[in-house]
């Protein structure tokens, strides 16, 4: 909004462009263009400095504006060229963030000065696009192909210190960035600008450029699994290595248009805002212990270790408790290994991990040390009796205001709370494994959980840099409840004639990192087996005379139980739905034993084997999961479809470029989802999860309502959501 220019010795005017989350970026671009032209034409102006406002350079374009193609990055390209071609040195003063179009503007400048705390990146790939304002052509010329490819295909934000090492910025400062940029501008007045114009520079050569690119392309393709943007980002950078600048820019624009019309960009942009909408979710109450928790982690198994590690990473003081010294020492060792690893990753960054200080992290077997903590996260074995015993003890020992959280993936929060004298302070916190890596935290409120307890758990998620999603209490909550019918269909498909590798392949082609059978093998088949035994579906508590393939009048497949009875627990035993090179091995190979076992099983149960095509595999698995999502919304277990999508994107490996299951359903079209469910349900009348939910039917009946209107068709919402 202001134009300062540097005269020989004094500062008179600076362009200050604020494009942080602005919906007016067209106006900003115009102002930038006008200001530059004015500065160029004014002989009293000797140099130009571009900065942001309020300590932020630019977060790039307003993502909401991407729905109208005319207002896109391509409009920025000529302005970046204009900056670069200026006859007066232009210096970028980068504070806060320089992202996307913001960083492309900085790349057009002849010099870049950054504050030590600034972050830079080209995150377009994460919203399904590529840097379309010549960034894919300038960045490799500045920092080389490997580093540029890494930044552009991952979209990662890098700290200023790393940017300096890469040569992305010329200088970093701890104090006033703008003054430093002006100093630099004054210093370079009169120096030749040719060598500072990135479009004129060759892309730095690599001795093995072709081999490097080939390898990089394979890696990008492997990781992308149908997600177009990383591959097209790669192609744009590759063009920089093969063509002159202007031709590279033309290629960049072509690829940008492909992405824009792919549908994937819309899905990713939906996901971006869905995550923020879930973050914004608030109860009328305030958190009781915001940001000053002392947390006790109870139980140092795999989950507990991850939870303690993420608490320490979040700079929250932790008391880690185990039931005996043997388990404590084992847990402590594992936590220390994780923390050392995390500390290494953070080396060179602004933040240090403080975990050798007993005031920050303490290990104990003494329950009484929990007396003063603000919040406890219990992470013991998934067993109701054990959890109730612990909650009873916690309720007696912890101070009156302390929040009691249980890490459970399916158990009833109300029943756990009933063991305490303070059910209003009991809440479920479902972490995902590995808990120090996975961002999702399902926060489950019970019948008596108070709004301030929910607010405190949300605050905890925020402090731990996790995506907290508040949901109601039901078996499996949201994520696992939707997962059950998906896995159930996968197993039914095996009964009917498919193979684990065929089902997995279809879902991996859809974009999941691993299909349901690889996932079961990884998680351990015994986990579900234990749960089914607990529910009386298999094992000794199964009533005598039960039919092998029916439970409570519904279709049931005993296949996973039969595998467990044979000791096939998955990766840990070297055999499950696949075979592995050894117990604990990770390379899954189709197992002829399983194929033989399945055909014998079909013979025994007189099931006619049939060929099942990819469409049926995909639809039965995904539509049954989505159908459950509609039931969850109708029951008021979640606030809206965005919440379900955020859970699936952050906790269940749902491919981001498909926007989440409910968004996906909206792109397929609800009438089609309904018609397919009806068809499969008629073919399998004993499978209730294929019966279309009443809410889905209603949305179709009102004319395929758009996703953002779905909730308005429900009369009942949970009072706590």
Closest alpha carbon to 223 in 212, 235, 231? 231
Is residue 347 flagged as an active site residue? no
Q: Kindly report the CA angle at 314 between 311 and 317, in degrees rounded to 5? A: 55
Contact 131, 193 (CB under 8 A): no
Among 101, 304, 428, 641, binds ligand L434P2JQ (CB under 6 A): 101
Closest alpha carbon to 352 in 378, 322, 386, 315? 315
Closest approach of Cβ 98 to ligand L434P2JQ, in Å? 8
> Token pair of 690, please?
């294929």
Q: Among 61-69, 314-322, 429-437, 443-451, which window interacts with ligand L434P2JQ (CB under 6 A)? A: 61-69
Q: Among 83-91, 95-103, 531-539, 637-645, which window interacts with ligand L434P2JQ (CB under 6 A)? A: 95-103
Strand partners, 382: none
* DSSP state at residue 122: -
Contact 467, 430 (CB under 8 A): no
Closest approach of Cβ 15 to ligand L434P2JQ, in Å? 8
Q: Closer to ligand L434P2JQ by CB, 119 or 568: give it.
A: 119
Q: Among 15-23, 353-361, 535-543, 709-717, which window interacts with ligand L434P2JQ (CB under 6 A)? A: 15-23
Contact 520, 577 (CB under 8 A): yes
> Counting contacts by CB under 6 A, is residue 108 touching ligand L434P2JQ?
no
Subset of 448-467 contacting ligand L434P2JQ (CB under 6 A): none
> Counting contacts by CB under 6 A, is residue 70 touching ligand L434P2JQ?
no
d(CA 550, CA 557): 8
Subset of 617-656 contacting ligand L434P2JQ (CB under 6 A): none
> Counting contacts by CB under 6 A, is residue 659 touching ligand L434P2JQ?
no
Compute how many residues bind ligand L434P2JQ; rule: CB under 6 A.
31
> Counting contacts by CB under 6 A, is residue 256 touching ligand L434P2JQ?
no
* DSSP state at residue 435: T
Q: How many CB atoms lie within 10 A of CB 205?
A: 10
Closest approach of Cβ 460 to ligand L434P2JQ, in Å? 17
Phi-psi region of 166 (alpha: psi -120 to 50; beta: other; left: phi over 0): alpha
Among 48, 50, 232, 416, binds ligand L434P2JQ (CB under 6 A): 50
Among 25, 363, 556, 663, binds ligand L434P2JQ (CB under 6 A): 25
Subset of 272-331 contacting ligand L434P2JQ (CB under 6 A): 273, 276, 280
Of the residues 33, 84, 95, 124, which is catalytic? 124
> Counting contacts by CB under 6 A, is residue 61 touching ligand L434P2JQ?
yes
d(CA 90, CA 101): 17
Among 105, 239, 289, 638, binds ligand L434P2JQ (CB under 6 A): 105
> Counting contacts by CB under 6 A, is residue 495 touching ligand L434P2JQ?
no
> Counting contacts by CB under 6 A, is residue 94 touching ligand L434P2JQ?
no
Q: Closer to ligand L434P2JQ by CB, 373 or 458: give it.
A: 458
Phi-psi region of 669 (alpha: psi -120 to 50; beta: other; left: phi over 0): left
Among 3, 14, 17, 216, binds ligand L434P2JQ (CB under 6 A): 17
Among 97, 149, 229, 491, binds ligand L434P2JQ (CB under 6 A): 97
> Counting contacts by CB under 6 A, is residue 687 touching ligand L434P2JQ?
no
Closest alpha carbon to 464 in 306, 288, 646, 303? 306
Q: Among 52-60, 83-91, 361-369, 491-499, which window interacts with ligand L434P2JQ (CB under 6 A)? A: 52-60
Closest approach of Cβ 74 to ligand L434P2JQ, in Å? 8
d(CA 408, CA 311): 18
> Counting contacts by CB under 6 A, is residue 48 touching ligand L434P2JQ?
no
Which residue reads 């792919």 in tokens?
Answer: 262
> Counting contacts by CB under 6 A, is residue 35 touching ligand L434P2JQ?
no
Q: Among 58-66, 237-245, 391-399, 479-487, which window interacts with ligand L434P2JQ (CB under 6 A)? A: 58-66
Collect all residues with Cβ–Cβ distance below 8 Å to 429 and sequence separation of at least 6: 377, 405, 406, 407, 441, 442, 443, 444, 457, 460
User: How far apart are the two ends of the chain, measured CA to CA in Å?
Assistant: 42
Question: Pattern 118-147, binding to ligand L434P2JQ, x per CB under 6 A?
Answer: -----xx--x-----x--------------
Collect all residues with Cβ–Cβ distance below 8 Å to 98 and sequence separation of at least 6: 57, 58, 92, 105, 106, 114, 118, 119, 120, 121
Closest alpha carbon to 168 in 123, 100, 86, 113? 113
> Counting contacts by CB under 6 A, is residue 663 touching ligand L434P2JQ?
no
> Counting contacts by CB under 6 A, is residue 222 touching ligand L434P2JQ?
no
Is residue 488 flagged as an active site residue? no
Please list, residue by residue across 444-474, b when 16 or more beta carbons sit within 10 angstroms of its beta carbon and e when fewer do: bbbebbbbbbbbbbbbbbbbbebbbbbbbbb
Strand partners, 376: 296, 404
d(CA 440, CA 651): 5
> Counting contacts by CB under 6 A, is residue 100 touching ligand L434P2JQ?
yes
Chain positions contacting ligand L434P2JQ, by CB under 6 A: 17, 19, 21, 25, 28-29, 50, 52, 57-64, 73, 76, 97, 99-102, 105, 123-124, 127, 133, 273, 276, 280
State the catalytic residues: 104, 124
């Amino acid at each position: 909004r202001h134009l300062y220019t540097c005269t020989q010795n004094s500062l008179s005017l600076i362009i200050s462009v604020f494009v942080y989350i602005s919906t007016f970026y067209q106006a900003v671009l115009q102002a930038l263009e006008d200001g530059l032209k004015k500065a160029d034409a004014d002989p009293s102006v000797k140099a130009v400095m571009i900065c942001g406002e309020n300590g932020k350079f630019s977060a790039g374009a307003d993502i909401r504006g991407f729905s109208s193609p005319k207002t896109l990055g391509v409009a920025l390209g000529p302005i970046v060229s204009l900056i670069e071609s200026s006859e007066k040195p232009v210096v970028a003063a980068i504070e806060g963030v320089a992202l996307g179009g913001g960083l492309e503007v900085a790349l057009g400048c002849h010099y870049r000065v950054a504050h030590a705390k600034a972050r830079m990146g080209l995150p377009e790939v994460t919203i399904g696009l590529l840097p379309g304002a010549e960034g894919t052509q300038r960045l490799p010329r500045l920092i080389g192909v490997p580093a540029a490819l890494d930044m552009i295909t991952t979209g990662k934000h890098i700290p200023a210190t790393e940017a300096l090492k890469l040569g992305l910025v010329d200088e970093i400062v701890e104090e006033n960035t703008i003054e430093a940029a002006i100093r630099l501008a004054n210093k370079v007045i009169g120096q030749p600008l040719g060598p500072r114009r990135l479009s004129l520079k060759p892309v730095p050569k690599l001795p093995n450029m072709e081999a490097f690119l080939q390898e990089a392309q394979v890696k990008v393709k492997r990781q992308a699994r149908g997600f177009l943007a990383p591959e097209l980002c790669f192609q744009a950078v590759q063009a920089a290595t093969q063509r002159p600048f202007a031709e590279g820019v033309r290629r960049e624009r072509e690829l940008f248009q492909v992405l824009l019309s792919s549908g994937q960009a819309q899905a990713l942009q939906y996901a971006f805002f869905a995550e923020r909408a879930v973050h914004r979710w608030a109860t009328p109450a305030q958190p009781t212990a915001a940001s000053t928790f002392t947390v006790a982690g109870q139980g140092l198994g795999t989950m507990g270790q991850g939870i303690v590690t993420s608490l320490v990473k979040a700079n929250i003081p932790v008391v880690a408790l185990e039931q005996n010294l043997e388990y404590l020492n084992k847990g402590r060792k594992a936590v220390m290994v994780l923390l050392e690893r995390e500390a290494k990753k953070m080396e060179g960054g602004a933040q240090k991990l403080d975990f050798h200080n007993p005031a920050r992290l303490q290990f104990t077997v003494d329950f009484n040390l929990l007396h003063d903590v603000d919040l406890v996260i219990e992470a013991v074995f998934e067993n109701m009796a054990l959890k109730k015993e612990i909650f009873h003890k916690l309720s007696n020992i912890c101070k009156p205001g302390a929040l009691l959280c249980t890490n459970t993936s399916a158990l009833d929060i109300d029943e756990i709370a009933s063991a305490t004298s303070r059910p209003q302070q009991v809440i479920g916190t479902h972490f995902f494994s590995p808990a120090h890596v996975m961002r999702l935290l399902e926060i489950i409120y019970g019948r008596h959980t108070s709004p301030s307890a929910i607010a405190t758990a949300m605050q905890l998620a925020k402090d731990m840099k996790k995506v907290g999603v508040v949901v109601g209490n039901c078996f499996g909550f949201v994520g696992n409840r939707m997962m059950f019918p998906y896995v159930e269909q996968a197993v039914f498909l095996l009964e009917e004639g498919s193979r684990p590798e065929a089902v997995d392949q279809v879902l991996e082609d859809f974009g999941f990192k691993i299909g349901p059978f690889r996932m079961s093998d990884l998680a351990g088949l015994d986990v579900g087996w234990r749960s089914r035994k607990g529910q009386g579906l298999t094992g000794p508590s199964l009533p005598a005379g039960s039919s092998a393939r029916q439970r409570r009048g519904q279709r049931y497949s005993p296949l996973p139980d039969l595998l467990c009875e044979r000791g096939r627990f998955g990766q840990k035993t070297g055999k499950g739905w696949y075979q592995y090179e050894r117990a604990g091995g990770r390379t899954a190979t189709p197992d002829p034993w399983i194929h033989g076992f399945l055909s014998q099983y079909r013979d025994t149960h007189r099931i006619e084997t049939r060929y099942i095509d990819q469409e049926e595999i995909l639809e039965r698995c995904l539509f049954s999961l989505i159908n459950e999502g509609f039931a969850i919304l109708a029951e008021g277990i979640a606030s809206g479809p965005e919440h379900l999508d955020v859970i699936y994107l952050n906790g269940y490996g749902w491919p981001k470029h498909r926007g989440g299951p409910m968004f996906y359903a909206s792109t397929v079209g609800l009438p089609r989802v309904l018609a397919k469910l009806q068809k499969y349900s008629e073919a399998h009348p004993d499978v209730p999860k294929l019966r279309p939910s009443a809410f889905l039917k209603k949305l179709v009946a009102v004319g395929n309502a758009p996703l953002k209107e779905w909730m308005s068709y429900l009369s009942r919402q949970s009072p706590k959501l």
